[in-house]
């Protein structure tokens, strides 16, 4: 079995373009094993394995910069990372299978072969949202709030009717629209900003376990938005600084 490849040969067997391999080299993500006398990039088995790992990450939609950070880390463990990738791919497989089942049931309903409840119609979408949330934030939110509260919240989502699900989506949109208008006014204590906060409270209560909402928890969550770049990126899509504005508005809301 061949152990060394030119950039064109590696592109052929991997399905990755030569241009992409050159780009990975420029980023410092995948260097060739050596440069031959004729100027050709030469890749060995180590580089082949590394490219495979990179492509696994790309299938999981991991940004190139993040891939480089992961693989350059001093404690990088290829076997452990492959295990993580496998678990994420299995999760995606489960999500797809559930959506396929959901579509099949819907087709059967349209043909009069079966009847779907409103909850069943949204099972696939709700489960995907739960799985995505668990994959992204599961470890930290379970450490912060405990398994019981998180599992209860997921169960509440699964039990949502069509009307409740649509209401949650509508609330989410209303929050962003109202927050944008309030931010443009520039006053966290304004009537419009406080309306955005109340919509946010209503939205939280649709997902949180009954009886767990409190003003203290609401304020702490808003502080977490500012501290976590993932949430900051979400709200700052409205406008830079919008996450801090929301935090300040919620602080006013919770003092009333």
For residue range 131-152, what is the model confidence (pLDDT) as tens digits? 776 777 677 767 776 777 777 7
Give per-residue pLDDT as tens, 29-66: 999 999 998 888 999 989 999 999 999 888 877 888 88
Question: What parts of the chain have a pLDDT lower than 50?
Answer: none
Cα gap 246→250, rounded to integer Å? 6
97 touches 50 (CB < 8 A): no
What does the pLDDT read at residue 152?
77
Cα gap 26→7, rounded to integer Å? 14
Q: Give the relative orientation of helices 191-207 and 147-158 as an angle to the nearest 10 degrees.
A: 90
Mean pLDDT over all residues of the chain? 84
User: Closest Cα partner for 68 from 34, 26, 32?
Assistant: 26
The H or E element containing residue 100 is helix 78-110
Cα 86-154-157 angle, rounded to 5 deg: 120
Sign of dihedral through CA atoms 232, 234, 238, 243? negative
A 10 A CB-CB count for 222 gives 23
pTM: 0.51
What does the pLDDT read at residue 157?
73
List 221's β-bridge partners, or say none: none
Residues 6+ apart with CB under 8 A from 39: none
């Amino acid at each position: 079995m061949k152990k060394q490849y030119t950039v064109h040969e590696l592109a052929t067997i991997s399905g990755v373009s030569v241009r992409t391999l050159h780009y990975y080299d420029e980023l410092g993500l995948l260097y060739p094993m050596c440069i031959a006398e004729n100027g050709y990039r030469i890749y060995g088995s180590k580089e082949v394995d590394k490219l495979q790992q990179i492509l696994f990450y790309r299938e999981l939609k991991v940004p190139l910069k993040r891939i480089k950070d992961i693989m350059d880390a001093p404690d990088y463990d290829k076997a452990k990372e492959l295990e993580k990738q496998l678990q994420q791919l299995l999760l995606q497989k489960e999500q797809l299978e559930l959506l396929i089942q959901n579509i099949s049931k819907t087709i059967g309903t349209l043909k009069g072969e079966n009847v779907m409840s409103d909850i069943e119609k949204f099972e696939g979408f709700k489960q995907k949202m739960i799985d995505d949330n668990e994959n992204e934030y599961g470890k930290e939110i379970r450490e912060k709030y405990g398994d019981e509260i998180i599992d209860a919240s997921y169960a509440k989502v699964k039990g949502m009717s069509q009307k409740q699900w649509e209401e949650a989506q509508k609330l989410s949109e209303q929050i962003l629209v109202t927050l944008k208008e309030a931010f443009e006014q520039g006053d966290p204590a304004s009537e419009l900003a406080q309306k955005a906060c109340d919509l946010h409270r209503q939205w939280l209560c649709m997902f949180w376990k009954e009886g767990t909402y409190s003003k203290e928890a609401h304020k702490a969550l808003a502080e977490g938005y500012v501290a976590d770049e993932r949430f900051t990126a979400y709200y700052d899509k409205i406008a830079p600084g919008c996450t801090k504005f929301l935090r300040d508005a919620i602080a006013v809301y919770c003092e009333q």
